[in-house]
Amino acid sequence: MSELLIERSLAADVLEPVGDGWTLHGLAVPYERDQVVSDDGGKTTYLERFAAGAFARDAAKGGRWVNLFVGHRGDDGDRFLGRCVGMAEGSDGLYVDFRLNRAHPLAEEARSGELQGWSVGAKIFRTREDRSGGRERRVRELAGLNHVAATPVPQYAGAGVLVAREHEVIGKPPTPVLDELRAWRESLRA
């Protein structure tokens, strides 16, 4: 299986402050929507769509490795704006929750809604090519989320920060490796 690394910008939505506002919730990747994209700075374009379930493996694991950065380029330490505390698939796309790093100089801007556009960096593992309306279209069927970048200029319509809220863990986060180790330990005791 070959992999392709892409970076895409996502359109912002309205930020609604709730609670202490240090946790951002939003749509990282919309599903089943064609977007005009370019991989060569705009010289050529094509349609891109993420199929429903493209990030199912990441969502099942909770996305704790995904960070929120300011932009895609530069020193990761300087760009680190927050960490993923939740990831789930909805029928319309992949939703993520990020707890903001209050020490970052742009944390207050992100919290107040000035950086509500999101851009994603993803590894693409499987793509199906077809045509739509006479244009080339690439349907991303299997992908892995690397990071999300807060940006003022988004691309994907309907994606971005939906709400800033107080951190709240809903349900138990998945721990498949820990669960397997606990089961193994219990089998030794039996």
Dist. CA 27–CA 91, nearest whole Å: 11
Would the pLDDT of 138 be above 90?
yes
**Which tokens hold the place of 134?**
């006479």
Q: Quick one: 109 exposed, middle or buried, by C-beta within 10 A (0-12, 13-18, 19+)?
A: middle
7-21, 53-67, 141-155, 156-170: which has the highest mean pLDDT? 53-67
Question: For the whole model, what pTM was predicted?
Answer: 0.73
pLDDT digits (tens, 9 = 90+) for 59-103: 999 999 999 988 766 666 678 899 999 999 999 999 998 888 888
Dist. CA 177–CA 155, nearest whole Å: 36
Would the pLDDT of 141 be above 90?
yes
pLDDT at residue number 170: 45
Torsion sign (Cα): 111, 23, 98, 56: negative
pLDDT band at 7 (very low <50, low <70, confident <90, very high): low
Q: Which structural domain range is residue 151 located in?
A: 4-189
pLDDT digits (tens, 9 = 90+) for 97-137: 888 888 888 888 877 777 777 888 889 999 999 999 899 99
Q: Beta strand pairing status for 46-50 and 35-37?
A: antiparallel
**Which tokens hold the place of 85?**
């505390």
Average pLDDT over residues 18-38: 82
The pLDDT > 70 percentage for the chain reads 72
More confident residue, 167 or 124: 124
Dist. CA 187–CA 173, nearest whole Å: 24
pLDDT at residue number 5: 56
Which value, to the nearest 10 degrees, does the dihedral of the CA atoms of residues 59, 75, 39, 37 take? 50
- Mean pLDDT computed over every residue of the chain: 78
Contact 131, 137 (CB under 8 A): yes
Any bridge partners for residue 183, and if so which?
Answer: none
pLDDT band at 181 (very low <50, low <70, confident <90, very high): confident
Average pLDDT over residues 173-187: 73
Total number of domains in the chain: 1
pLDDT band at 154 (very low <50, low <70, confident <90, very high): low
